[in-house]
């Protein structure tokens, strides 16, 4: 496939330095990442006799420690590949209106957090949950929007293909939840996660780095957990629907403006535009 060619007025993005990664090797890395989370989660949770996230101790042993190990693995791989710059910095900008994507996600996060019920859990629970969900954000964004996007670009895919396949891979990986209690609902989750992956991909590109999407991914999960999972023992919270509504709202906006996501000289390279 053809390499990315920058418009005449635009300096080409720096070549990806470091080691070259095959698709098969990337798949092995992703599987190892999943094994670390799933197996260490079961072993550590079992050792501590914890199987839920309703208490501070439960969050520490079922989320914080296993997810922390996955983050160490992810950024260890990035360091070993010599990919700090291509993973952490994105040199392919989109039009500035795309800032609406992280803006809507932020609004959904702020509305979705169940502040009242969460305050009853105490500050230590809140801090542990925040750190754990940031581990989710930095781990998954480092693996899929960082390493994954870099692998696809290194193999010469057009940017629309990079957006599509990095999001699909992100969703498919979540099918693993079917084997750990997710059941048939894991299929629907995988589809939704794929869409979310595209939103985080656009956040990466509009911000020019892999940091903002990592932070927002963690906060988005924090919001979902406080409203719908962690606090099941509390009264139903209407704000829980805010993060869920963000998906169709963003989908409609991106479909309407699909042809103006990319700068003018690359307008045909948008994932949505190329599929429309």
Q: What is 75-104 written as a DSSP string? A: HHHHHHHT-HHHHHB------GGGGHHHHH
Residue 16 lies in a domain: no
Instruction: Show the DSSP H helices in 95-232 as ranges.
Output: 100-112, 115-119, 123-140, 149-154, 159-173, 185-207, 211-224
CA atoms lying within 13 Å on the CB side of residue 4: 24
Residue 5 lies in a domain: no
Q: Each residue of 64-84: pLDDT tens digit?
A: 999 999 999 999 999 999 999
Mean local confidence (pLDDT), 207-225: 96
Phi and psi, residue 233, nearest 5°: -85, 5
Q: How many structural domains comprise the chain? A: 1
Residue 14 lies in a domain: no
User: Residue 181's pLDDT is what?
Assistant: 58
Full residue range of the structural domain in which residue 149 is found:
23-275
Give how far Cα 17 sits from Cα of 6, 87, 154, Å. 18, 11, 9
199: CB partners within 8 A, 6+ apart: 101, 105, 247, 250
Residue 195 lies in a domain: yes
Q: How far apart are CA 101 and CA 163, in angstroms?
A: 15
Looking at the DSSP bridge assignments, the partners of residue 209 are 89
Residue 3 lies in a domain: no
pLDDT band (50, 70, 90) for residue 223: very high
Residue 18 lies in a domain: no
Residue 255 lies in a domain: yes
Q: Is 96 helix (H, G, I), strand (E, B) or coil?
A: helix
User: Residue 265's pLDDT is what?
Assistant: 67
Residue 8 pLDDT exceeds 50: no
User: Residue 3's pLDDT is what?
Assistant: 44
Q: Is 156 helix (H, G, I), strand (E, B) or coil?
A: coil
Residue 11 lies in a domain: no
């Amino acid at each position: 496939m053809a390499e990315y060619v920058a418009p005449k007025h635009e300096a080409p993005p720096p070549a990806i330095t470091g080691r070259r990664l095959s698709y098969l090797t990337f798949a092995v890395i992703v599987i190892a990442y999943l094994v670390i989370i799933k197996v260490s989660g079961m072993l550590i949770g079992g050792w501590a006799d914890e199987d839920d996230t309703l208490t501070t101790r439960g969050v520490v042993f079922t989320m914080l420690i296993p997810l922390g190990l996955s983050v160490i693995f992810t950024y260890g791989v990035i360091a070993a590949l010599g990919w700090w710059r291509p993973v952490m910095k994105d040199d392919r900008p989109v039009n500035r209106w795309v800032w609406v994507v992280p803006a809507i996600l932020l609004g959904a996060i702020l509305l979705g957090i169940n502040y009242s019920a969460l305050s009853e859990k105490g500050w230590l629970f809140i801090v542990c949950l925040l750190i754990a969900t940031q581990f989710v954000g930095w781990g998954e964004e480092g693996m899929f929007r960082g390493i994954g996007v870099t692998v696809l670009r290194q193999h010469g895919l057009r940017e629309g293909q990079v957006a599509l396949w990095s999001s699909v891979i992100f969703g498919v990986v979540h099918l693993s939840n079917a084997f750990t209690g997710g059941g048939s609902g894991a299929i629907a989750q995988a589809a939704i996660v794929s869409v979310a992956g595209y939103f985080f991909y656009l956040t990466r590109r509009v911000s020019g780095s892999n940091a903002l999407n990592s932070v927002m991914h963690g906060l988005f999960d924090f919001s979902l957990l406080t409203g719908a999972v962690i606090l099941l023992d509390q009264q139903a919270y209407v704000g829980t629907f805010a993060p869920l509504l963000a998906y169709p709202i963003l989908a409609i906006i991106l479909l309407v403006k699909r042809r103006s996501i990319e700068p003018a000289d690359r307008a045909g390279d948008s994932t949505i535009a190329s599929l429309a």
